[in-house]
Chain A
Amino acid sequence: MTLSKDHIGGLVFLGLSAAYGHYAGDILLLPGDEYEPFHAQTVPNFLAAMGGFLSILLLLTADRDGKNGLSLTGYDFALVAKLLVLVVLFGLALEWVGFLLATVIFLIGGYWLLGVRKVKTLLVASVPFAVGIWFSLTQLLDIYLAPGQLISQIFGG
């Protein structure tokens, strides 16, 4: 029997429901709550049970002929991983170098990863855009954007 998409999905959600149910038991109850018809664990316990039931139902009704198998060929996972790392780095850069520089770095990084190599395009499509957005937010909409820890340490502030 080949594992189909439904089998994988069913197994994943069965595991998730079991873990969710396990941690639902850790939710602190107020004294006397256990005698109440409804408390903080009621819905999580029900959801864990329903999740488990539906996952098993999915596993039982899944195709067994292997037609609906999960094929990972033809997908550019490496590029997506790089883009998501760039998103995480953007979050870190916001804290350290501030909004303006983080935006420029993020956009140039994004264009580069997607195949843009011309330095002029990289700069023209990122710097004016970042400055424009930064100016609109800080000067027109009066939103305070922290300058970033590194910038503060170097220039003070």
Chain B
Amino acid sequence: MKENWWKILASVLVIYSVWSGMLGSVPELPILHETIRNLYFHVPMWFTMVILYLISVIYSIKYLSSGNENHDLLAVECVNTGVVFGFLGLVTGMIWGNYTWGSPWPNDPKMNSAAISTLMYLAYLVLRNSLEEEQKRARISAVYNIFAFPVMIVLLFILPRLTDSLHPGNGGNPGFSSYDLDSRMRMVFYPACIGWILIGVWIATIQYRLRKLQNKQLN
């Protein structure tokens, strides 16, 4: 029970974000209308993905210095879970874009970057499966992961800002702070992000524990 408090916190925050996200008041903006509420559900998917990839790269570095295979397992399972959240982010973004930008894929720089970074992490998973020897696999994929993470950050958070993008906070568009995130929305948006990040970490740890059990049975 005591070590499970954060799981309950995650559940409560996510449920709270649905209730306040659907019923709370939001700014009335043209084009967006009520879809502005998607901010509480679409954006936390990406934040969760980034945090999971961050945990993964930390454990990849740890693996390289320690050689402990559990660190490698946690790094993989974080990427596995992160990819799921990445796909959720892509699909929810396509639905949202279809009704506000007029097309599910308007070749927005941030969308293309997100697609590339998702492919990059899929390549990480394929790379792992293609290597037979365990230590070699762990070491090569750890190095790949360390290179992939900064590229992902550049693709998602730096390159879209250098050009024009439909996403807020990029190019000529104003960011979260100005028109689309007032103090009422912050009260829902931040709890939603924390809740979903905790849910993502929770799923990753379950996957990690299962993988550890499987490994024990094999040996």
The answer to whether A and B come from one shared complex is no
